[in-house]
Chain A
Amino acid sequence: MDILANLATGFSVLTWFTLSLAVIGCFLGTIIGALPGLGPSNGVAILIPVTFSIGLDATAALVLMTSVYYGAMYGGRISSILLNIPGDEPALMTTLDGYPMAKQGRAGDALVISGVASFVGALLATIGLMLLAPLLARVAYLFGPAEYFALYLLAFSTLGGIASNNQAKAALASCIGLGIAMIGLDNTTGMPRLTFGNLHLMDGVDFLVAIVGLFAVAEVFFFIESHGKGSSIGVKLEKVTVPVKDILKSGWTMLRASLVGFIAGILPGAGASLGSFLAYMSEKSIAGPTGGFGTGVPRGVAAPEAGNNAAAGGALVPMLTLGVPGSGTTAVLLALLMTLNITPGPTLFTDRPDVVWGLMASLLIANFVLLAMNVPMVKIFVRVLQVPPAVLLPGVCMVSFVGIFSLSGSYFDLLLMVGFGIMGYVLRKLDVPTVPIILGILLGNHMEDALRRGMVLSDGDWTYLFSSPISVGLWIAAVAGFVAPMFLRRILRKPQAITD
């Protein structure tokens, strides 16, 4: 058994120190997920610079941040159920049955069922990740420059296609990111490009600065606009007991939802929101009109939570094996890997098995820690929801500043971060998605390198880009991924129609 042996390697990498980091990460992550306005992507984003400043090694940093990631996926449901406000985007579907359940006085039951569903989804996805990632890594060895170029294109088209309602705006967002990535030294020639004579720009724009600005600082502006409305506890949480019957009855729902979510997570760009949406919709149609979905039934909270946690695990598959993130948060995690000088991709599995399998082992452990935190200890996190935004958001902002400042020590990066914050606010107002910008900044140089290496190999023959079956397939998928949402939009709009 290859995988068991690998996993044993993974567990041997873990020390008491990394395990305690996993626990801290799970705790922080659940808080981040539970707080409306702080989702997994901005939560992970503000913590990355801090992680670097305290000088954790690669495995430790990765264990900490993926625990935060998983934790945030668990935590998102808490405010969905109690406040009817999703703690993060993927938890939107959980409001549909979670909040009605809470209004019926079953808030505790809803929290426990969704906690167990999260556990089932995340655990199965972690196992799926362990089985599938090494296989995909082997396929990825066949990828040359032409395939990688097409793959990057696929990531942009699918991620953009889902992130916005307007394909032109999604494509523009990718271009903004790619355009920013070009600033700085040209990888191939070592000559400065597009720096406009500014010395600060010689090294290019640090993607951490962009991520923290676009996600965290922009969020602060949104809160100022809304004056932090809608964030007081809506429903009282009484005693928390374990509704064994309901959990057993939703068993099949959790398993099916996990499978659906995991597959949705693997698709580049689709991510956890699609996972929870598809899981909920498929369970709803299986249950039929007598199933009572939408009125507060246990299966209605189990399905989206199993789905989005499974998708979170699934999204790690393309990120680790191909270096192409499957969602916004995995894009941020990719930034973490790149800052750690770890290049994700097939070689990661042979060059750094300690990192890969240490990560998987810690994910397994994180799941059990999170189950404990989210079922018996859920009351602690409910308290956290009472932190007023007028304290929370300035706090987020200051942590972002300190993080970036301790990394670079330059006021220029801080100004750039504020600039990205303003940009993020305006763009999101105009329905231009910000995740493709991050992806562009992260992948821009890789994409150009792939193109240039390909052209060197083929002596400038552009048909080389379509020369292998894999690359043609990826091109077709990329075009389809860009065009399909225009037709599918009516179906994908549905969740909003339900919550209205």
Chain B
Amino acid sequence: MLRSVLGKTLRDQRRSLLFWSLGFVAVTLIYVAPYRSFVEQGLLETRESAIYEAIGFDQTPAGYLRGTVFGLIGPLLLIMAATTYGARAIAGDEEDGTLDLLLAHPLSRARLVLERAGGLGAAVALLGAVLWAAVVTATRVADMGIPVARLTLAVLGLALLALTFGAVALALGAATGRRGLVVGVTAALAVASYVAFTFAPQVDALAFLEPLSPFTWYLGDNPLVGPPDALGLTLLVAVPLALCALAVAAFERRDIAV
């Protein structure tokens, strides 16, 4: 783990990765495992409502998962984790002054950004794998009858969604070096994207925003019921890659703060 910047990055994050993992397991079990008893107690019987429709919630297994783990709490947590890691990748270490020492070694700026991006990708992949295992287990326990392939597709989309915002944070950090600004702007973009996906379609004047939201690329065709959204997944891969390229370009040309 001490042999490369990527390895060191993950090593430095081992505790936080463990805590996030425990969080994902706990949340998934709390939401998903008691699904049957929620249904039996009638807790999930909702009236027709624009809100429920907007967040895609209904009491079918797919609707319940879509409205909770995949549409709300999962994105919230995984985007928070990815944003934290993305902001720390450059801006955080720069504010701590540790980038100075690294970049005084024979390590190019591009290589540093790319290894840090790799560390971000690995961290999100790991948390995605934990979430996947928790969701697969919990849906078995609750006998929800959703095929593993669909769950896999949904978790993949969710991880790529989080990675997109992590890459936004990485790129903003590479350009500005200011962690507070990075976290604030990334969080604002994530909220705006969620709103654009969830509520913009109900307002004619804002409907054009929906296809621009990464949430749409991920959940527009509900991966738990619909066909795989090839365009959406492509965008969710292409945008983080493009952001990494921008991060390298921005980081190459500026001063490193003390």
The judgment on whether A and B are partners is no
Interface set of A (CB-CB < 8 Å, partner B): none
